[in-house]
A and B are shown apart, each in its own frame.
Chain A
């Protein structure tokens, strides 16, 4: 199903563990990195490589929220909605994002660019609210920063600021 180079990387991962089954999760991450999600055929591939049943792999894929069973947008926007981010205004930020992009949570924009997801605590409570864009944590987000980021990504440009903490800001009305 995959090319030789990919198989080689997979085998390297397998070799790191005393038991093959431990490689189920890292191999699923590897597949998702490459495909953007985990296709059903890939679940079977992982099952074969690790010696577990396909039902076992599917159980793992559906247990852990990071694994996607469907293609999503090019940029998956994970909004943390747990307590600390809630206290720092993520609900308002999320509402703005939905309006700006014209989609609901779980949906992808028609141009295939953005998907909005809500997730639980990402461990960035000191720089809340945080939006994880694919692998990157964009922290200290507010409407202005989010707009700047989304506009840049939509235009195919580099993000206007790197992932990580942003300028310290005070909560504003409406947050």
Chain B
């Protein structure tokens, strides 16, 4: 563990740490472009030059491994002049696009030019010109003039997705990033290159010109797309998800998310008219439709439960709080109605992030229901029972909680679903199940309510409320809480903190969870789980670091 001095401070770091990594992890912000902890070291932008005593020339901090007794200066007059010079070079051919460039507000070139550069440029010649809207793939556009040739995007496709669609073509100042004709940048993670690009050379088609980033509120949350549970930021403005970007989490997704997750907001927007508009029940023209629907649900469920003909269908897309309430319902006032759990498996796990299980909380729901009401049965058995006429009232949590369900096979075989005369369905986006329900109780959709999910690897994370619902819906715990209150004869639904206490008490895997610490963080493991072992592979500069238990500064 070498000890070295940087700007007068003495630091001890693990073997193999570079000066840049040590600096960033200790609050010394050495400017850099081409370095990224998830990619191999490239060392070509030359912005991170520092002075190292006894070295004959300035050294790049990203490729200088800390040695015992090394003395580094990052803020001398000479280093400042060097940085100014490199910044001047970077801006020689860079276009003055800031007013129309998506990156403004989160552009390192802008920030460094302001902090480390000169206010003017001495370049008077004609700048190099090139294509400004080259389509690299279905989601990514390339602006040659803005590109600073840092090669992050190329390295990403080589090292992380291993698809190598991007290459650098030509030479010298005419270098350009491109794809081979007929092989566009269309791997499932193509949007990540837009995150990586330090300038506005790579833009996401779905976000181009949509919002200025300084208007966005970044709400930390979790992606709803699959059981991986990637940490994300929901960039919201005007009560809309304007964009979704990865949130760094070394126990789960590192720096990446897949395109499907990234574009979830757009999916929700496009399916606006498929949101369930409001509660529905057989009662016509009720003054208070919610009261009417809830009362009807309580009535039929209570009746049929006493007759032993009630059944519960849970969804792996529910939150653990909803699952606990549902479990308490099933085990309690519904006198041990059997609980079935739907499944949403499609395709296969890939080698990076994507899971075949398309439900973000399958493990959480299973853990909670298993502890609270015993065995959770597969849907096929529910279908059998329905067809055999053994179910008169079905309480079902639908598949459309987190978005439109087009393309997915129906959760229950349609002929089986219709066999129960009473079907109480909680859902957000319309599904065949919701369409055919006798009572519909619309739940708040993705981003409209908070909750907790558990990934396939046992990582417990907080899902945030980032939006106000525009349709007539309520949080799932309110609806289930109301049903519980109605059926169990209580006066009110439990509060969130009471639910959490209940989960910790009832479910051993959650016994040690510190619920208050979950929001905005990287999550916690269920008891006995080791989520980090299943985290996305660490590539690049990070690999060596993690081997010695080092946590690098996050990008």
A residues neighboring B (CB under 8 Å): 40, 43-44, 52-59, 62-63
For residue B171, CB closer than 8 A to chain A, the reply is: yes
Q: Contact: A53 with B167, CB < 8 Å?
A: yes
Tell whether B464 is near chain A: CB-to-CB under 8 Å.
no
Stretch at the interface among B173-181, B315-323, B419-427: B173-181
A53 to B163, CA, bound (A): 8
Output the least CB separation between B157 and chain A (Å). 8
Minimum CB distance partner of A54 in chain B: B180
Q: Is B165 within 8 A of A40, CB to CB?
A: no
The B contact surface, by secondary structure, is: loop
Q: Does B526 contact A (CB under 8 A)?
A: no
Question: B164 on the interface (CB 8 Å rule)?
Answer: yes
Q: A53-B164, A58-B169 are in contact. List 5 more A-B contacts (CB 8 A).
A: A53-B180, A55-B166, A55-B183, A58-B180, A63-B170
Residue of A44, A52, A55, A62 with most partner-chain B CB within 10 A = A55
Most buried by A among B170, B180, B181, B183: B180
What is the distance, in angstroms, from B270's C-beta to the closest C-beta of chain A? 32
The answer to whether the Cβ of B11 comes within 8 Å of any Cβ in the partner chain is no
Residues 262-284 of B at the A interface (beta carbon under 8 Å) = none
- Cα-based distance from A44 to B167 in the complex (angstroms): 14
Find chain B residues with CB under 8 A from A57 CB: 180
In the complex, chain A residues whose CB is within 8 Å of the CB of B171? 62-63
List residues of B (10-64) whose CB comes within 8 Å of A's CBs. none
7 nearest CB pairs, A to B: A55-B167, A53-B164, A54-B180, A59-B167, A62-B169, A55-B180, A62-B170
21 residue pairs from A and B, CB less than 8 Å apart: A43-B180, A52-B164, A53-B163, A53-B164, A53-B167, A53-B180, A53-B183, A55-B166, A55-B167, A55-B179, A55-B183, A56-B164, A56-B167, A58-B167, A58-B169, A58-B178, A58-B180, A59-B167, A59-B169, A63-B170, A63-B171
* Beta-carbon nearest neighbor of A52 in chain B: B164
Q: How far is the CA of A59 from the CA of B151 in the complex (A)?
A: 13
B154-167 vs A, Cβ < 8 Å mask (1 yes, 0 no) = 00000000011111
Q: A55 near B170 (CB under 8 angstroms)?
A: no
Does chain A have a CB within 8 A of B168?
A: yes
User: In the complex, what distance in Å separates the CA atom of A53 from the CA atom of B168?
Assistant: 12
Distance, CA A127 to CA B168, complexed state (A): 37
Q: How far is the CB of A120 from chain B (nearest CB, A)?
A: 12
CB-defined contacts of B183 to chain A, threshold 8 Å = 53-55
Report the nearest B residue to A62, measured CB to CB: B169
How distant is the Cα of A59 from the Cα of B181 in the complex, in angstroms? 12
**A59 to B178, alpha carbons, bound, how many Å?**
9
A60 to chain B, nearest CB (A): 9
Residue of A nearest to B183 (CB): A54
| Chain B residues in 8 Å Cβ range of A52 | 164
Q: Looking at the assembled complex, report how far the CB atom of A64 sits from the nearest CB atom of chain B, in whole angstroms.
A: 8
Residues in B neighbouring A40, C-beta threshold 8 A: 181
How near does chain B come to A43, taking the closest CB pair, in angstroms?
A: 7
Cα-based distance from A43 to B183 in the complex (angstroms): 13
